[in-house]
Amino acid sequence: MNKYEILVLLIVLIILIKSFTQFIEKIRGFKDEQLKFTMRIKKENINRLTGLQFEGFCQWLFHNNPEYKDIKLTPPSNDGGVDLILTNYDDEKIYVECKRYDSNPTLASNDEDNASDEFFIGRVICQKLVGAMMANNIKKGIILTTGSVSPNALEYIGKLEDNSDLSLKIYTMDNILKLIEERENQDDYELAVEI
């Protein structure tokens, strides 16, 4: 092999190593790239989020809230029916379930008597969160939804609070928009969430 062939071989080897390194870095960063998003906070944008993005958005929504010292996002799978765990300054934990509007009209509760073209939080979703709360001795729960609340869910929550020491609140899109307005930087409507 002469010097020219060795030089060409070295250049090819360097190019291959560089390409391979970039490929490995891209694979390692693929998961992070899939879970990062930036958006302008508007009702329409919130409705377009995927389920995982909506959970990240809800985490951001509670971030810097003076009531909570810790906001933990649970893993995307095997979360036990809980998407966020808030901890207040009395070290009390609050379980949060995040349910975004699905563009395919569905009844989240499976309550056939409430079927319509709108997404509803029903009794079944409430019972699922309450079950997770009871299993872990948690007294407070929140459901955040971009949909509406069925009468069955409201009746269930009323009975639950009348007959136990458990508390369950539901925040609809109107409540979510109010929480956004209450944030310290009301003009800062850019959102970048990394999960």
Instruction: Provide the H-helix boundaries in 40-172.
Output: 43-47, 51-62, 123-135, 151-163
Q: Which domain holds residue 14?
A: 3-34
Average of per-residue pLDDT across 61-77: 87
Q: Are residues 93 and 140 in the same domain?
A: yes
Q: Are residues 60 and 72 in the same domain?
A: yes
Distance of CA 97 to the CA centre of its chain: 8
Q: Are residues 94 and 59 in the same domain?
A: yes
Residue 37 gets the label, from left (phi > 0), alpha (psi -120 to 50) or beta, of: beta
Q: How many domains does the chain have?
A: 2
pLDDT band at 29 (very low <50, low <70, confident <90, very high): low
Domain at 99, CATH number: 3.40.1350.10
- Least confident range from 75-89, 92-106, 179-193: namely 179-193
Q: Are residues 56 and 149 in the same domain?
A: yes
Instruction: Say yes or no to pLDDT of 102 above 70.
Output: no
Strands 140-145 and 167-171: what pairing? Answer: parallel
Q: Are residues 90 and 167 in the same domain?
A: yes
Tokens at residue 112, please?
């056939």
- Looking at residue 191, its pLDDT comes to 52
Q: Are residues 59 and 26 in the same domain?
A: no
